[in-house]
A and B are shown apart, each in its own frame.
Chain A
Amino acid sequence: DGGITQSPKYLFRKEGQNVTLSCEQNLNHDAMYWYRQDPGQGLRLIYYSQIVNDFQKGDIAEGYSVSREKKESFPLTVTSAQKNPTAFYLCASSTQFVGSYEQYFGPGTRLTVT
């Protein structure tokens, strides 16, 4: 089956710890994205990657880091510098990095930091 997988579904961490969220796609998409979703709010773009070994900051990149060493994988690290990390994190991909193509979403990872 083609699609995007995110793991784990739920993640709990203590404040001050870095944590890495996994995102894998087998759709052969060039572009990948990370969004954050808070209750009652829309999706906010954290980072995006147009192609392997390239990535750019989105609207709320502070406290996050990413890598894109393989086309299929775009892991997100939530660092201890992120002031309010508890949220629902969504990974997406699209065939091209343009605003005229559908983005396919993974099932999401709910991160809780206490």
Chain B
Amino acid sequence: GESVGLHLPTLSVQEGDNSIINCAYSNSASDYFIWYKQESGKGPQFIIDIRSNMDKRQGQRVTVLLNKTVKHLSLQIAATQPGDSAVYFCAEGETGANNLFFGTGTRLTVIP
């Protein structure tokens, strides 16, 4: 899950295994969610998004699940590869609001 402290949550997985990264969001009115991937020293890259009228959305090797009841979002990465090692963070937004709000992130380390 997300952390507000100085230490990012970490997840280590073996290459080829599936990864699940979790995010708890705070605003029950949020209706748009994004997962970003940030490699060291680089800007965040869009992975996948989902709107609140959906529970699940799939991309290439990634799946996002949204549980509005408990305000929880997860990112599943299938067959994790070394190139997937990065910090992953979620962002939540609300139609009509001013901005996206970003979580602190989870560091994923893939063990070859």
Contact = CB atoms under 8 A, between A and B. Distances in A.
Contacts of A42: 2, 89, 102-105
Central interface residue in B89, B94, B97, B99, by most chain A CB within 10 Å: B99
Given A40-B7, A98-B96, A105 B41 contact: no
Interface of B is mostly: loop
A10 to B, nearest CB: 9
Contacts of B5: 40
Interface of A is mostly: loop
Contacts of B6: 39-41
Interface residues on B, range: 35 or more
B46 A104 contact: yes
Interface string B68-81: 00000000000000
Contact of A98 (B45, B97, B102): B97
Interface residues on A, range: 20 to 34
A88 B46 CA distance: 19
B108 interface: no
A107 to B, nearest CB: 5
B41 A108 contact: yes
Interface in B30-80: 30-32, 34, 36, 41-46, 49, 51
B98 interface: yes
A81 interface: no
A111 interface: no
Given A41-B104, A99-B30, A107-B42, 4 more contacts: A40-B8, A99-B97, A102-B46, A108-B41
19 contacts: A40-B5, A40-B7, A42-B2, A42-B103, A42-B104, A88-B41, A90-B43, A90-B44, A97-B99, A98-B97, A99-B93, A99-B98, A99-B99, A100-B95, A103-B100, A104-B46, A107-B43, A108-B41, A108-B42
